[in-house]
A and B are shown apart, each in its own frame.
Chain A
Amino acid sequence: QQQVKQSPQSLIVQKGGISIINCAYENTAFDYFPWYQQFPGKGPALLIAIRPDVSEKKEGRFTISFNKSAKQFSLHIMDSQPGDSATYFCAARIRGGADGLTFGKGTHLIIQP
């Protein structure tokens, strides 16, 4: 059972545009929702994260929007740049701290110059 569903699988955006990646979850015990960025040949690195007590979190050009009732959250990348081209994973962790992350399948993002 896939507990975190991510879409789209791939996305092409023009430089300066907005990139939007969506995730949906099923388990209401999840209480921490990070987004990871992965470049080829590298390990995933935390980009931004949110907890369900807020509906939005912004860090620079990156924003997470969170809809608790719909059990959905999304990543928005404003003014997308070629350096943002990477694979993005949403993830979720069960309440209680030091548990492993459940990841979405990933979105391969390409920003065209």
Chain B
Amino acid sequence: DAGVIQSPRHEVTEMGQEVTLRCKPISGHNSLFWYRQTMMRGLELLIYFNNNVPIDDSGMPEDRFSAKMPNASFSTLKIQPSEPRDSAVYFCASIRGGADTQYFGPGTRLTVL
């Protein structure tokens, strides 16, 4: 199994630009999570989907953040416009229905200048 796949692994952009992060969950997993990791706040849940439907987006910091899951094998997290305080590592994780273990991807390190 390839595990959770995220792209790009590193992204450097300038303030005000749109950023799109991508995630491919493990095949057969029906829940997908987006987390953000910073030194100050640690790992925070941003949003999660069950069967492609957004369930809880209360962790999304602002309207500049949006996430979609058009099908079971793909999700995006978009920031528009990006700001320097959005600099962080963004992780995607997936889980099989009825299971306990969330599997994390390698993360996308985002730097907004």
Contacts and interface: CB of A to CB of B under 8 A. Distances in A.
Interface of A: 32, 34, 36, 41-46, 49, 89, 93, 97-106
Interface of B: 4, 31, 33, 35, 42-45, 48, 50, 55-56, 59, 91, 93, 95, 97-98, 100-107
The main secondary structure of chain A at its interface with chain B is loop
B91 A44 contact: yes
Contact of A98 (B31, B44, B59, B104): B31
Contacts, number: 53
A32 B101 CA distance: 10
B33 A100 contact: yes
A74 B36 CA distance: 24
Nearest to B4: A43
Given A89-B43, A99-B56, A103-B43, A46 B48 contact: no
